[in-house]
Amino acid sequence: MRFSRKHLALPYALFLLLLVVLPLVVIVVYAFSDSSGQPTAENFIRFFTDPNTLGTLFYSLVLALITTLVCLLIAYPVAYSLAFSRIKRRSVLLLLFILPMWINFTLRLTALKELLTLLEGNLAYHPFLNSVIGMSYDFLPFMILPIYNQLERLDRSFMEAASDLGASGFQVFLKVTLPLSIPGVVSGIAMVFLPAMTNYVVLDMLYNSTYIMGSLIGSYFAAYDWHGGSMISLVLLALICLFTLLSGNSEEKPEGGRRL
Amino acid sequence: MKKKAFWGILILALALLLIYAPILILAAYSFTDATSIGFHGSFSLQNYITLFTTPELKDMIIGTLILALAVALISTVLGSLGAIGAFYSRNRSRFILGTVNQIPVVNADVVTGFSVCILLVVVFGMSKDSFIPLLAGQVALCAPFVYLSVLPKLSQMDPSIYEAALDLGASPATALWKVVIPVIRPGILSGFAMAVTLSLDDYFVATYTKPATFDTISTYVVNATRGAQTSVKTALWALSTLLFVVVLLLVLIGQRGGKKQERKEAEA
């Protein structure tokens, strides 16, 4: 066989097949079989009839939704002020906002936990509130960055044209800037919403004993119930696919890392 | 106009305060002998001494760093070669590779970790103590990001320079090594850096695939918050402070380097 440049992809293709595709196939097989290897739909039925798992699904969705909303409400003004500021060293300022992404998230949560304990006395009093605060603190940079990138590359002449044509500052924002920034908002939501549904470490560290989708997988894992765990993974995977398709095939490439 | 600028700066300042208050308060208390923040304590370096002299903590930090470097190295080689190969492949194979590459990027890390564990440990019966599930799982997490950061550099490259190298008598392998790789080096390097951070930050893949006796910073911290060992807890404050300083320095150096690179490119 003659050397061709495309053969260089073979090791990686093989790796992806073995450690990305095959594990997912195994998950599907395990989700629809019982411990003796017989095919069954029991795991599936159990998931959708068990009030506990359905409650967990609901709780995860609500928690993720509120976290995303909080992140958006904080990140948009920040990204906007940053993108339209006249500060000379804007890139340094942006780095300050995304720098926390590079510090281990468990250590950052430790810091937050100490501060919250000081403020609240006992973290157990407000488990839901603390989880929202923890998640928002954790994921905020992932919302700021895409919105900033989008606002930054907007053609300023659109806004100038709007105000020349008599629009007030607020109208310019509402009719021009905001609609044009939606792609950044969408990719920010995608980068916060999905992790917020599964990152159970935040709940763990802030003494929230309620389960979310991620911790449910963990609990099945701890009980050596591979079949039940696979079913939860599959449901989660389906939700992720659905959400990824819904948020559009945004060409926004993740920049500077990501975490789930 | 003045008023608008004022509000902008106020928003940015408040947000920075929110983001950095916990980290900075913890940093201040890491230099005291207080066992909780808010308590009165006097100046002490005990936390830093504990951090560097407790074998358990030392092993955990060194282990995490070695793991991150190994994972990043394997991810960079696999992902970069994958991107180069995909770039020169037919459209269909490139599309398939790109799509599969996207799976770990959008997938929840819990699912990635769980599925790799099921395949390697439950189905193949591999021992977690071999470190292979841990390495394989984290590479599956990181390599796709290397692929994504190398691919755009290839599209930006002038294709004729490779042809020119061949015309001048270089073998394809030499042309690749001496011409293509240097051109896409920035993408490879940023992919490597990204892989290091992803591995350092990973909790979910590690917790499902790591040997029982091995801990990364993430798994260690999560376990430590469950227990009540105060000396370890406050030593982690020191670790958090050190990491913050290191990241800050790296970012500043990177910023400088980026500026130089820009200037060079502007001059060229």
The whole-number pLDDT of residue A258 equals 43
Shared-domain flag, residues B111 and B170: yes
User: Which residues in chain B are closer than 8 Å to A238, comparing Cβ atoms?
Assistant: none
pLDDT at A213: 87
Higher-pLDDT residue of B35 and B18 is B18
User: Distance (Å, rounded) from C-alpha B145 to C-alpha B189?
Assistant: 12
Is B233 in the same domain as B218? no
Which of chain B's residues have a Cβ under 8 Å away from the Cβ of A187? Answer: none
Nearest to A23 by CA among B75, B27, B141, B34: B141
Burial of A42 (0-12, 13-18, 19+ CB in 10 A): middle
Confidence of residue A104 (pLDDT cuts 50, 70, 90): very high
Examine the domain organization and report whether B87 and B219 are in the same domain. yes
pLDDT band at A254 (very low <50, low <70, confident <90, very high): very low
Across B66-81, average pLDDT: 97
Give the one of A16, A19, A115 whose C-beta lies nearest to B101's C-beta. A16
Residue A77 has its nearest CB partner, among B11, B109, B226, at B11
B:99-118 residues touching chain A, CB 8 A cutoff: 100-101, 103-112, 114-118
Best residue of B3, B18, B19, B26 to probe chain A, by most A CBs closer than 10 Å: B19
Query: Which among A151-160, A215-224, B137-146 has the top mean pLDDT?
Result: B137-146
Residues A153/A220, Cβ–Cβ less than 8 Å: no
Give yes or no for a contact between A150 and A250, defined as CB atoms under 8 angstroms apart.
no
Residues written for chain B:
268
Together in a domain, B138 and B205: yes
- Whether residues B257 and B181 share a domain: the answer is no
Residue B36 predicted with pLDDT over 90: no
Query: Averaged over B87-103, what is the pLDDT?
Result: 91
DSSP A33: B
Write down the pTM of the prediction.
Answer: 0.89
Q: What single-letter DSSP state applies at residue A121?
A: S
Residue A112: domain span: 66-246
| B189 and B90 together in one domain | yes
The reply to whether A255 falls in a domain is no
A129: tokens are 């509130």
Beta carbons of A151 and A177 less than 8 angstroms apart: yes
- pLDDT for B33 equals 87
**Residues of chain A contacting B226 with CB distance shorter than 8 Å:** 204
> For position A211, what pLDDT does the model report?
86
The least confident of A247-256, B15-24, B79-88, B203-212 is A247-256
Cβ distance B241 to B26 under 8 Å?
Answer: yes
Please give the tally of structural domains in chain B.
Answer: 2
CATH number at residue B217: 1.10.3720.10
Mean pLDDT across chain B: 90
pLDDT, mean over chain A: 88
* Residues 154-213, chain A, touching B (beta carbon < 8 A): 169, 194-195, 197-198, 200-201, 204-205, 213
Q: What is the mean pLDDT of residues A38-66?
A: 91
Domain carrying residue B112: 57-224
From chain B, the residues in CB contact with A20 under 8 A are 100, 103-104, 140
Does the residue A50 lie in any domain? no
Choose between A118 and A3: higher pLDDT.
A118
Residues of chain B with pLDDT > 70, as a percent, come to 94
For A27, the closest chain B residue by CA position comes to B115
pLDDT bucket at B2, cuts 50 / 70 / 90: low
- Structure-token pair, residue A75: 């990140």
B192 close contact with A: CB closer than 8 A = no
Residues in B 38-77 with any Cβ partner in A closer than 8 A: 38
Report whether pLDDT(B265) > 80. Answer: no
- CB pair distance less than 8 Å for B82 and A13: yes
The per-residue pLDDT for range A118-134, each reduced to its tens digit, is 888 888 888 999 999 99
Weakest mean pLDDT among A65-74, B37-46, B67-76, B174-183:
B37-46
- How big is chain B by its Cα radius of gyration, in Å? 23
For A199, the closest chain B residue by CA position comes to B110
CA distance B140 to B143: 6
For residue B262, the model assigns a pLDDT of 67
Q: Are residues B83 and B143 in the same domain?
A: yes
B47 has pLDDT over 60:
yes
B245 close contact with A: CB closer than 8 A: no
Give mean pLDDT, residues A34-44.
Answer: 86
With a CB cutoff of 8 Å and minimum separation 6, the contacts of A20 are B100, B103, B104, B140
Q: What pLDDT sits at residue A65? A: 96
Instruction: Give the sign of the dihedral formed by CA B25, CA B29, CA B35, CA B37.
Output: negative
B164 and B205 assigned to the same domain: yes
User: Is residue B11 a part of any domain in this protein?
Assistant: no
Q: Same domain, yes or no, for B214 and B245? A: no
The answer to whether residue B51 sits within a structural domain is no
Does residue A151 fall inside a structural domain?
yes
pLDDT at A230 over 90: yes
Q: How many domains does chain A have?
A: 1
If you average pLDDT over residues B61-70, what whole number do you get?
96
pLDDT band at B201 (very low <50, low <70, confident <90, very high): very high
The answer to whether residue A85 is domain-embedded is yes
Up-side HSE of residue A65: CA atoms within 13 Å toward CB? 6
Cα dihedral across residues A22, A25, A30, A36: positive or negative: negative
Q: What is the pLDDT of residue A255?
A: 42
Chain A residues closer than 8 Å to B203 by CB: 105-106, 201
Of B205 and A87, the one with more pLDDT: B205
pLDDT band at A260 (very low <50, low <70, confident <90, very high): very low
Query: Do B101 and B166 share a domain, yes or no?
Result: yes
| Closest Cβ–Cβ partner in B38, B106, B197 for A102 | B197
> For residues B36 and B266, what is the distance between their CA atoms, to the nearest angstrom?
52
Tell me whether residues A15 and B143 touch, CB distance under 8 A.
Answer: yes
Which residues in A90-100 are b (16+ Cβ under 10 Å) and which e?
eeeebbbbbbb
How close is the nearest chain B Cα to the Cα of A225, in Å? Answer: 11
| Residue B155 shares a structural domain with residue B259 | no
| Secondary structure class of A79 (helix, strand, coil) | helix
Q: Are B109 and B202 in contact (CB under 8 A)?
A: yes
**Contact across the interface for B197 and A19, Cβ inside 8 Å:** no
Asked, for residue A165, whether it belongs to a domain, the answer is yes
Interface residue of A102, A123, A132 to substitute, partner B, most B CBs within 10 Å:
A102
Is position B103 within any domain?
Answer: yes
B115 contact residues in A (CB cutoff 8 A): 23-24, 26-27, 233
Q: What is the DSSP string of B8-68?
A: HHHHHHHHHHHHHHHHHHHHHHHTB--SSTTS---B--HHHHHHHH-HHHHHHHHHHHHHH
CA distance A210 to chain B (A): 16
pLDDT at A185 over 70: yes
Residue A249 pLDDT: 53
Residue A131 lies in a domain: yes
Q: Which amino acid is at B111?
A: V
Report whether pLDDT(B151) > 60.
yes
Alpha-carbon distance B43 to nearest alpha carbon in chain A (angstroms) = 19
In a domain, B179, yes or no: yes
pLDDT band at B168 (very low <50, low <70, confident <90, very high): very high
**Torsion angles phi and psi, residue B32, rounded to 5:** -125, 175
B233 part of a folded domain: yes
Residue A257 inside a domain? The answer is no
Measured distance CA(B104)–CA(A254) in Å, rounded: 12
pLDDT digits (tens, 9 = 90+) for A133-154: 999 999 999 999 999 999 998 8
Single-letter residue type at B47: N
Amino acid A256: pLDDT: 40
Asked if pLDDT for residue B163 goes beyond 60, the answer is: yes
Tell me how close the Cα of A51 comes to any Cα of chain B, in angstroms.
22
- Please answer whether residues B15 and A78 qualify as being in contact, where contact means their C-beta atoms are separated by less than 8 angstroms: yes
Any domain includes B9: no
pLDDT tens digit string along A10-23? 999 999 999 999 99
In angstroms, rounded to a whole number, what is the distance separating the alpha carbons of residues A66 and A172? 28
Look up the CATH number of the domain holding residue A92: 1.10.3720.10
Domain-ending residue, one of B193, B208, B224? B224
pLDDT > 90? residue B144: yes
The token pair that represents A196 in the structure block: 């917020």
Q: Are residues B238 and B204 in the same domain?
A: no
How far B45 CA sits from the closest chain A CA (Å)?
Answer: 18
Residue B232 lies in a domain: yes
Within a domain: B100: yes
Confirm if A228 and A216 have CB atoms less than 8 A apart. no
